[in-house]
Chains A and B, each alone.
Chain A
């Protein structure tokens, strides 16, 4: 049985990725199972989804602790204490990371193979939006080495039409899926003894989690939700007149004002909604593709 685990953030659609992959496997004659997990949080929070693919009936259920393949749809999760996407990957397993790399790069790290490629940039190029759900499924399908291109395309059509995607958007998704499938290599999975990387158990410091943390008002800034960003707002201080509009309309209170009422953006927690970019009357704020991890 092949076990694939997807890690993304709420809104990126890893649930859809796992479904497309499962359906593609099914179309190729395998038995497949997929399921997502998400907590009580909104867009941007770490989300996990699973696909199991097998020739035999699948009796295993629930969380995949020992994946053969891990797909990290959002690389900022690599440093996220709550997500820990590399936990449990089998030795000889493969990790795909959606990173800044324009070309597919393959490298060995310890006993695992890392494939790095920017499906976000591919999506921005082909779809015009950072849609990463269908291309993640395509990357996973290719890496498994057992799923055909026809099936991944058909599965994308089936799943996305069920979600009510318009024809034109669907067509672009298919172009992207096809491109990603062709770009990603199929390396050999070299799982020898089924050994997995030991899971690191986090020791919570007793003192740290008792109520003093909770009365520590406003401590949410420690969460550093700046990682959710795909585009980063950058202020051109030459153009800015200090009209305060961006400060007023930022829903996340991450803009403060200096003595001249010019905005200072706290990038550790700016979610990149880009309201400030839209509302600035002087177009003094521009959106720039994010390249840094803030975790």
Chain B
């Protein structure tokens, strides 16, 4: 690809915009993503956040953030971003601030707001071509309220509202919505998936997005120790496994054209990933649910087979 200032981890910017002392859980993947995301964006940003775990970053009278922050209702973070964008544009037009003083408008929400409750608001904003960034920290459930199923919960996950039982030992029977594809159908300038284990990949994507005007959208894999039942120290490991087993594809779409930024040569068996988390424990204990594990594996294989075929064609 084109020139990048990010070659290795040594190029991670030193400046912090998310300072110590937040009330989020130890080992929170979402917070790690936000921290790195802000480093790549730089300090000239204003944040718009909807209800979710990271809302708690700002519990009066404390804030770990160096940036301005606006809180909206669950469904309306992208609408909030529209308001701030408009205000900034008007201020520039009236000469009250110079174009140099302009700010990047950054929405960040959890998967609950992105996949379910605020899906329409984001769709509207993308359709209007709003010039903003949207970072989804996807921990695959409503973690803030105790880990209930969301539109982002993968098949066979155990959540508070999809507990495996004798009648239904599978857990969640639905599938994870494909938000990347929902968004891609709008053909925005930039969409990417990112993961906190693949920091250089993440930084380069943000760097590329900076060049575009209009919606720049990111879906971030965000391990959540209490919800996923994983050890706090495993957050980065699990993210790495998710990428290497093919559970979490790293890709981008520029005006709708998809490109994978990392294609695993050999997929690690998905079991290796599932076994790191209590939310999949019922697939292995007390009995191994072979069929379910196989279904999960086959879905992943199919996905990557299509990707490989397409790469070959190109």
Contact = CB atoms under 8 A, between A and B. Distances in A.
Contacts of B9: 243-245, 248
Interface string B43-68: 00000000001001101111111110
What's the dominant secondary structure at chain B's contact region?
A: loop
B233 A278 contact: yes
A225 B21 CA distance: 6
A222 B235 CA distance: 26
Given A223-B62, A275-B232, A278-B237, A253 B19 contact: yes
Interface string A27-70: 00000000000001111110000000000000000000000000
Given A213-B61, A275-B232, A253 B20 contact: yes
Contacts of B12: 244, 247-248
A220 interface: yes
Residue of B14, B18, B19, B237 with most chain A CB atoms under a 10 A cut-off = B19
B178 to A, nearest CB: 27
Contact of B66 (A166, A218, A273): A218
B199 interface: yes
Residue of A11, A45, A218, A225 with most chain B CB atoms under a 10 A cut-off = A218
A273 B232 contact: yes
B26 interface: yes
A222 B21 contact: yes
Given A42-B25, A252-B22, A273-B26, A220 B233 contact: no
A253 B16 contact: yes
B31 interface: yes
B20 A278 contact: no
B236 A43 contact: no
Interface residues of B, number: 46
A251 interface: yes
B23 A221 contact: no
B79 interface: no
What's the dominant secondary structure at chain A's contact region?
A: loop
A224 interface: yes
A192 interface: no
Contact of A273 (B14, B199, B233, B285): B233
B223 to A, nearest CB: 10
B27 interface: yes
B23 A225 contact: yes
A46 to B, nearest CB: 11
B37 to A, nearest CB: 12
A237 interface: no
Contacts of B25: 11, 42-44, 271
30 contacts: A11-B25, A41-B23, A41-B56, A42-B25, A164-B163, A209-B61, A214-B61, A214-B63, A218-B19, A219-B61, A220-B23, A221-B20, A221-B21, A222-B21, A224-B21, A245-B9, A247-B12, A251-B35, A251-B235, A253-B64, A254-B20, A266-B20, A270-B20, A272-B26, A273-B225, A273-B232, A273-B233, A273-B235, A278-B233, A278-B234
Given A270-B20, A278-B236, 16 more contacts: A11-B25, A41-B59, A44-B23, A218-B63, A221-B20, A244-B9, A252-B20, A252-B21, A252-B26, A253-B20, A269-B21, A272-B232, A274-B233, A275-B236, A278-B233, A278-B234
Interface of A: 11, 40-45, 164, 166, 209, 213-214, 217-225, 228, 243-245, 247-254, 257, 261, 266, 268-275, 277-279
